[in-house]
């Protein structure tokens, strides 16, 4: 069982390496950026790669995506501070095997490695709570919207302009703008440029 670790913070990198080795695993490579991580994965085919998400060159998600596209056998574990549902969804889409939070790595890393080693996937127990809360908030927000407003959100996520939406739904552009204001209000979004488009793209 060979493991690669990539993190751009030297202390975190060394700390993670020490933990992994103390669990009886062999660390074959360490590096501090995503490009080096991807090259080493292609070169040495480690069984598992533990990647930070925020790294120079390529981030951990980029590396996971490229590993998936190249159908490489290396199983990816993301070690991160990100608790956002959108980031986790993207990681899941790229076939990652483990997703654990840095602040709880000492508690969860060994369990995660043991699970991934036998082909199981592992999601941080501390993250699950946040994701469930995030999901229920999203469900509640969508429930507050009318059918017309949901349709408009759907079209916004397809990057349609107010003029295009008005034409598609046989409404006036002013009515669509009114709906947009109501949706922003109901979702509690900041009143800034493209706020609804950003939200729609993140939650579509």
Write down the residue that tokens 């922003």 correspond to.
184
Task: Check residue 139 and give its pLDDT.
Answer: 61
Residues 37 and 95 in one domain: yes
Mean pLDDT over 68-88 rounds to 89
Residues 92 and 153 in one domain: no
> Over the stretch 11-40, which tens digit does the pLDDT of each residue have?
999 999 999 999 999 999 999 999 999 999
Q: Two tokens at 176?
A: 């669509």
Residues 97 and 178 in one domain: no
Mean pLDDT over 54-80 rounds to 94
> Over the stretch 157-190, which tens digit does the pLDDT of each residue have?
999 999 999 999 999 999 999 999 999 888 878 8
pTM of the model: 0.65
Residues 124 and 152 in one domain: no
| Distance separating alpha carbons of residues 123 and 125, to the nearest angstrom | 6
In the three-class reduction of DSSP (H, G, I as helix; E, B as strand; rest coil), residue 7 is classed as coil
189, 197 in Cβ contact below 8 A?
Answer: no
pLDDT at 133 over 60: no
């Amino acid at each position: 069982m060979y493991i690669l670790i990539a993190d751009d913070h030297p202390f975190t990198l060394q700390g993670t390496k020490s933990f992994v080795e103390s669990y009886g695993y062999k660390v074959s490579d360490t590096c501090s950026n995503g490009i080096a991580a991807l090259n080493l994965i292609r070169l040495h085919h480690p069984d598992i790669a533990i990647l930070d998400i925020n790294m120079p060159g390529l981030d951990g998600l980029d590396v996971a995506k490229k590993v998936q596209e190249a159908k490489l056998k290396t199983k990816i574990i993301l070690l991160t501070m990100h608790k956002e549902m959108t980031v986790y969804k993207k990681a899941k889409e790229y076939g990652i095997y483990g997703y654990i939070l840095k602040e709880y790595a000492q508690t969860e890393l060994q369990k995660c490695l043991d699970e991934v080693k036998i082909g199981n996937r592992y999601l941080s127990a501390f993250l699950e709570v946040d994701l469930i809360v995030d999901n229920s908030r999203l469900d509640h927000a969508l429930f507050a919207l009318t059918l017309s407003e949901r349709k408009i959100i759907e079209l916004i996520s397809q990057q349609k302009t107010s003029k295009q939406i008005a034409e598609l739904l046989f409404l006036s552009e002013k009515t669509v703008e009114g709906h947009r204001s109501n949706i922003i209000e109901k979702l509690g979004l900041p009143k800034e440029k493209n706020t609804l488009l950003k939200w729609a793209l993140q939650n579509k």
